[in-house]
Amino acid sequence: MYFFYGRHYFLYTIQWRNKNKWITFYLSWIMVGHLSFKLTNKRVLFFILAISAIIVIDSNVINFYAYTNKELPLPSKVGIFTIFSITFSIIAIVLLKVIESYHFSSNYKQRKAQNLVRFTAIASQFMVIAFLAVEIVQMAFVNMYNSNLTLLILFTSFVPSILFLLLLVLLLVGWFRSSKNVMIIAYAISFSIVCIYLVVSTVYVNVQFTYNSEWVKAKSLHSTLVNSSVSDLALSFGVALDALYLFSFVLVWIATVALLRQYRNKIGRTRFWVIITIPLIYFLFPFETYFANFSEAMLSGSPVIFSVIYIILFSATKQVGGVLFSIVFLTAATKIKQPNLQNSLKIAAIGIAVIFSSIEINSLLYAAYPPYGVLTIMLMPLGSYSLFIGLFASARLASQDKKLRREFFQSAEKQLALLQTIGKVQMEKELEKSLKSILKRPSILEESRDDYRGEENVRELVQEVIYELRLKETADKNTDAG
């Protein structure tokens, strides 16, 4: 009760005393929200690398301080944490603004569903920013923060992310059922595993937080690590989470290799496999403790020096994987001339990079001061939403543009072949929905009511329409050639 009622007067007083500052802060967000922003390749890479760098710092700072025993003063740590929080908030608002600027045609029912998903993404991201802002205000004025806010950030980040990823999995499974494309089902299984990971992580953090105090006071990280307690139940979660992330990572890596394998002829087979395998080996090396534990001998010899070097070298395993996975969509975007499809692929690239960079909760478990680990997960709703909307928009655009499909068909690029597949499947689904809608009207095709009511008959009719369209496209090509 103290958290919800005891600070109300105090917070109102802060807002009244700093009225001009709050107005300036609010106006700055309004200005950011109204910026026109063009998503170039350099800016996409900047976003991905900036997000990855901040997440690496946020998720590894506790481990680094644990072995060096050297810390910055508390005001400096809170100040740096605040700067990173503002940076992430600006990035989130800019990316949401970019996604909002792209609209694709749809019927009334589809538009309502799209608006609901969009509202969920925007609301969850702004709620996360609001909870984080309250934590920063509490640290700035009372030198402590309420750990319930961290749990709220966790729920507000992971629950919408699970929703968006489940929608993406359903979309991918639907495409796979029509195309039987192995790469599509690899992505679907991987993101299903990510959903399980997020559910298990939520339970894990909640179990661990029952052993922490409600109010986290200002104290050194060394004191936090010494006094931290780990539950017996929580110890079993670590292995499960590592296994889930390992399977998810490997599946997406296999799909990435399959989609990029045409570069073997451009850069050479040896160079290609070296470039594509290094991120996998880099990611897998920390798992050696489960099997061979080569690092144990070196750790016993010089524990502090080895641990610091180990943390520095292997602090970005997940982020490097996220960057690698985004290359598939970025390279596809560079080979397409249609601006809207380029942008949707770039949005998907940012989304997959954020997802695989943000799957990290270790720092969150310590309830440190400031709350390290919160920045790592705060962009998860934006990442999952960006990936879902980017792939969905790409499929819609490819299904509606005959020239694009012809370009995909003529290209030998595997990324474009994937776009051709999902575009073709999406076109079939939309034709099927349109025909079902037409056949439900009593005044149209009254005589064929019994013949075309069944779902299989509708699909056969769709295939006939597509076959006729392909014949027409072939005839047009021959005409143009002649």
* 28 belongs to a structural domain: no
Residues 162 and 309 in one domain: yes
Domain count, the chain: 2
Residues 250, 210 contacting (CB under 8 angstroms):
no
**CB burial of residue 174 (10 Å; 0-12, 13-18, 19+):** middle
Same structural domain, 200 and 298: yes
Name the strand (E) or helix (H) holding 336.
none
Question: What is the Cα–Cα distance from 375 to 148, expressed in whole angstroms?
Answer: 16
Question: CA-to-CA distance for 114 and 120, rounded, in angstroms?
Answer: 10
Instruction: With beta carbons less than 8 A apart as the criterion, state whether 338 and 404 touch.
Output: yes
Residues 475 and 377 in one domain: no
Q: Is residue 382 domain-shared with residue 476, that is, in the same domain?
A: no
Give the span between the Cα atoms of 117 and 37, in whole angstroms: 22
Q: Which of 343, 366, 400 delimits the end of a domain?
A: 400
- Kindly compute the dihedral angle of the four CA atoms of residues 236, 158, 341, 97, in this order, to the nearest 10 degrees: -150
CA separation for the pair 202, 482 (Å, rounded)? 63
**Mean pLDDT, to the nearest integer, of 398-403?**
69
User: pLDDT of 455-475, one tens digit each?
Assistant: 455 455 455 545 555 555 555
Both tokens of 175, joined, read 């495409």
* pLDDT digit string, tens, across residues 422-441: 766 666 666 555 555 555 55
Sequence-distant contacts of 304-310: CB under 8 A, at least 24 apart? 304/67, 304/68, 307/67, 308/64, 308/67, 308/68
Choosing from 400, 422, 451, the residue where a domain stops is 400
Boundary (domain end) residue, out of 400, 431, 452? 400
Asked whether residue 25 is domain-assigned, the answer is no
Domain check: are 391 and 431 in the same one?
no
More confident residue, 461 or 226: 226
In a domain, 453, yes or no: yes
278-336: per-residue pLDDT in tens? 989 988 888 877 766 666 666 666 666 777 777 778 888 889 999 999 988 888 888 88
Confidence band of 25 (pLDDT split at 50, 70, 90): very low
pLDDT of residue 22: 41
Same domain, residue pair 363 and 432: no
pLDDT digits (tens, 9 = 90+) for 344-393: 889 999 999 999 999 888 888 888 889 999 999 999 999 999 999 988 88
Q: Dihedral through CA 5, CA 9, CA 13, CA 19, nearest 10? A: 60
Q: Fill in the amino acid letter for 65.
A: Y
430 with 393, same domain: the answer is no
Within a domain: 27? no
Look-up of token digits 């596809």: 332
In a domain, 18, yes or no: no
Specify whether 121 is located in the same domain as 72: yes
How many Å apart are CA 270 and CA 428, to the nearest integer?
40
Q: Is residue 24 part of a domain?
A: no
Q: Are residues 157 and 215 in the same domain?
A: yes
Burial class (CB in 10 A: 0-12, 13-18, 19+), 115: exposed
pLDDT digits (tens, 9 = 90+) for 134-178: 999 999 999 999 999 999 999 999 999 999 999 999 999 988 887
Q: Which residues pair with 217 in a beta bridge?
A: 144
3-state secondary structure of 155: helix
Q: How far is CA 440 from CA 104, 107, 453, in A?
A: 25, 16, 8
Identify the domain containing residue 470 by its residue range: 410-481
Q: How far is CA 206 from the centre of its chain?
A: 22
Do residues 462 and 432 make contact, with C-beta atoms less than 8 angstroms apart? yes
Amino acid at position 396, single letter: R
User: Is 445 a residue whose pLDDT tops 70?
Assistant: no
Q: Is the peptide bond before 370 cis (omega within 30 degrees of 0)?
A: yes
Residues 379 and 472 in one domain: no
Tell me the C-alpha distance between 314 and 291, whole Å.
18
